Amino acid sequence: MKKTTRRNFILGSLGVIGVGGAGLWLGRNSIIRSLLGFVSADTSALTDAPAVGGADCVLTASQTEGPYFIASPIRSDIREDRIGKEMKLKMQVLEADGCTPFEGAVVEVWHCDAEGRYSGYPEDLAHDPFGTLMFAGVGDSHVEPVTEKRYLRGSQKTDQEGVVEFTTIFPGWYEPRTPHIHFKILTEDRTQLASQLYLDPAVCTKVYTSQEPYIKYGDSPYVPSNDVVMSETPEAKGLMLRPKWNEKGPIEVSARIGIKRV
C-alpha cells in the first residue's frame, strides 16, 4: 500500500476544498496552516543532546537530510553576510561502541537564516507553506539548487578529540518546520549519519520576539510536537539542543554525536 505523505494529504485536501471558489484558493496558506494544526508528533524519544565535555554518549538516530542539502565549503565561520544572533556550535563525533573520538570525519552543517531562507533556493518560500510544498514537499528527496548562494553552510574535519566548531547565527523558522539544524557525517565520501538538531522552543521564543531581524515574523508556530518530519518518522527522533541565552554575547551550545560506523 502506498504511504500517504503529509504533502499528499495537504494537497489532496486543498483539491477537495478548492471547489469552493477563488477565495479559498487565495487563502490556501492559512488553510495549509490549519491542516498542519492536526499534526501530532510523539516527542517522548526526543533526547537532550549530551554536551561536549560530559560523560553521556548515545547512538544518534538518523533522520531525513531534507531537500536542501548542498555540499558545503570547508570553513568554520559559515555566516557570510547573514545577520542574526551569533551562535557558537561545537560538535563531537564519537563511535557509539566505547564512546571513542572519531578523528578525521567530515561534519557538514546547514540551516536557514534568521528569516527562514535557505541558501541556494528560492528565498520567498520561507513563509509560504503552499509554495514550499509545491517546490520541495516535506521530507521528500533532494531538490537541485537554483542559485549560487551558500550562506549558513559549512564543513570541517574532526580533530583528535572528534571535535568541530562552527560560528553561525541562531536559525530562524520557516514553513512548516520546527526550528532545527541539519548535519551530516561522512568518511571517505560515505555518509555515516544524516540527522537534525532541534532547538529548545523556550530559547527560540526569546530570540524570535526580542532580536532583529527575527521579530519580523515573530515566534514560531511550529514546535517538535507538531513538526511534520517528526510526525512522519516516529521511530527516529533527533537531539534537542538546550542553548543558554546570552544577552551580550554569542549563544553557545554543543552536542556529542554517537555514530555506528557503516
Query: For residue 171, is pLDDT > 60?
Result: yes
Which of 113 and 57 is assigned the larger pLDDT? 113
Query: For residue 173, is pLDDT > 90?
Result: yes
Residue 226 banded pLDDT, cuts 50, 70, 90: confident
C-beta neighbour count of 252 within 10 angstroms: 14
Nine-digit cell string for 229: 518530519
Out of 135-139, 145-149, 169-173, least confident range:
135-139
> pLDDT digit string (tens) for 141-158?
789 999 999 999 999 999
pTM for this model (two decimals): 0.87
Query: For residue 22, is pLDDT > 50?
Result: no
Residue 31 banded pLDDT, cuts 50, 70, 90: low
What is the residue extent of each domain of the chain?
6-259
Query: For residue 94, is pLDDT > 90?
Result: yes
Give Cβ neighbours of residue 1 (< 8 Å, ≥ 6 apart). Answer: none
Cβ atoms of residues 145 and 153 within 8 Å = no
Tell me yes or no: is domain 6-259 CATH 3.40.80.10. no
Out of 42-46, 74-78, 113-117, 255-259, least confident range:
42-46
Backbone angles phi, psi at 217, to 5 degrees: -110, -5
Q: Is 228 helix (H, G, I), strand (E, B) or coil?
A: helix
Backbone angles phi, psi at 98, to 5 degrees: 95, -10
Query: How is 91-136 classified by DSSP, letter by letter?
Result: EEEEETTTTEE-TT-EEEEE---TTSPPTTS-GGGTT-HHHHHHHT
Element (H or E) spanning 47, and its range?
Answer: strand 47-48
Query: For residue 24, is pLDDT > 70?
Result: no
Is the N-terminal amide bond of 250 cis, ω within 30° of 0?
Answer: no
